[in-house]
Amino acid sequence: MANYRNPAVAGMFYPANESELQQSIQALLDEVPNQEHEQPKAIIVPHAGYIYSGLTAAYGYKLLQKYHADIKRVVVLGPSHHVSLKGLAVPECDSFITPLGKISLDTDEITKLSEFPQVIRSDIAHEREHSLEVQLPFLQTVLDDFKLLPIVVGQSSAASTSMVIEKYLQEPTDLVVISTDLSHFLNYDEASVKDRRTAQHILKKQGEALDYDDACGRIPVIGMLYAAELLDLNVELLDLRNSGDTAGDKNRVVGYGAWSLSHAQH
C-alpha cells in the first residue's frame, strides 16, 4: 500500500508544473496589499481553481508570511465532495505529495485523534478530495517546515467538529485552516447579496444562522465559529468576491470569502 497521497487535482485546479505553480502562487500573493494584522490562529479560505478563488485565498495566506517560522503544525478541515462520510476522516498514509514536494503528516497526532468517536481513518475519503489539496501549495509557499493534520468533514454535528478544532486553536504553534466556498450557481447579483449576508454571520460568529446552501464547508465553518466564541477570538473579513469577478460567467457564479481569526487584544 502506498504510504503517501498523490495530488488529485494538479493540472486542473492549479498548475502541475512546479515552477509554474510557484509563479502562480507568488503572483497571487503579490496582488494582495500588505496590511497589519494580529497573528491568525485560523483562516477561512476558498477551494476552487486558482484562477477563480486563488486571489481570495491569497488574502488569508499573505497574513501567514510574517509568522512563517512560528507555525509548526497546520490542521486543515474541508468538506467531503466525493465520499459519503459520517463524522470526520483522517488519512492512514503518512505524507501528502504536491508538485512543490512532500508534506509530512503528524502521524502521532492522527493516531490520538482517531480515538475520538467521531473520527475515522480513511485514505479513500482523502484520495480525490480537492478542498484540502488546493490549500497545500499555498502553505508550502508561505510557511517553513510544518507538519500537516488533514481532516475531511462529512455529516457531523457542529459540536463534535468544534471539539476537535478547539483543541488545536489552543496550541501556540498550530494554525487551523477551514476550507469552504460560499454560494453556488446563483447569478452575480443574487450571489453578492447572499454572500454578504453569510460574511456578516461569520463576522458575528453566528454559526447557527448559516444554511446548507450558504457555504459548502458549512459544518467546519460552524464548528470554527463555536470554538471562536468559546475562546474569544476576533473574526476579520479579508476579502469577498465571486467567480464573476475573477474568471467566470456572471450568470452562474460561486462565492468566495477569506477571514482571519485571532486572539482579541485586551
Question: Is residue 201 included in any domain, yes or no?
Answer: yes
Question: Is residue 33 included in any domain, yes or no?
Answer: no
248 pLDDT band (50/70/90 cuts)? confident
Domain count, the chain: 1
Question: Is residue 3 included in any domain, yes or no?
Answer: no
- pLDDT at position 266 over 70: no
- pLDDT > 70: percent of the chain: 98
Question: Is residue 165 included in any domain, yes or no?
Answer: yes
The CATH number of the domain holding residue 49 is 3.40.830.10
Please state, in angstroms and rounded to a whole number, the distance separating the CA atoms of residues 261 and 182. 18
**pTM of the predicted protein model:** 0.98
- Whose cell is 485523534? That residue is 113
Q: 182-235, pLDDT tens digit by residue?
A: 999 999 999 999 999 999 999 999 999 999 999 999 999 999 999 999 999 999
Q: Are strands 88-90 and 147-153 parallel, antiparallel or unpaired?
A: antiparallel
Q: What angle do CA 58, 135, 13 make, to 5 degrees?
A: 90
Which runs of consecutive H residues, i.e. helices, occur in the chain?
18-31, 50-62, 107-113, 123-127, 130-133, 136-142, 158-169, 188-203, 218-230, 243-246
Please state, in angstroms and rounded to a whole number, the distance separating the CA atoms of residues 221 and 259. 11
Q: What is residue 140's predicted lDDT score, i.e. its pLDDT?
A: 98
> Span 133-153, mean pLDDT?
98
Residue 219 CB neighbours (<10 A): 27
| Rounded CA Rg of the chain | 17
Question: Is residue 7 included in any domain, yes or no?
Answer: no
Residue 26 CB neighbours (<10 A): 12
Q: Which three cell numbers stand for residue 53?
A: 478563488
Question: Is residue 75 included in any domain, yes or no?
Answer: yes
Question: Is residue 227 included in any domain, yes or no?
Answer: yes
Domain housing 101: 39-263
Q: What is the 3-state secondary structure (H, E, C) of 1-67?
A: CCCEECCCCECCCECCCHHHHHHHHHHHHHHCCCCCCCCCCEEEECCCCHHHHHHHHHHHHHCCHHH
> Span 123-140, mean pLDDT?
98
Question: Is residue 102 included in any domain, yes or no?
Answer: yes
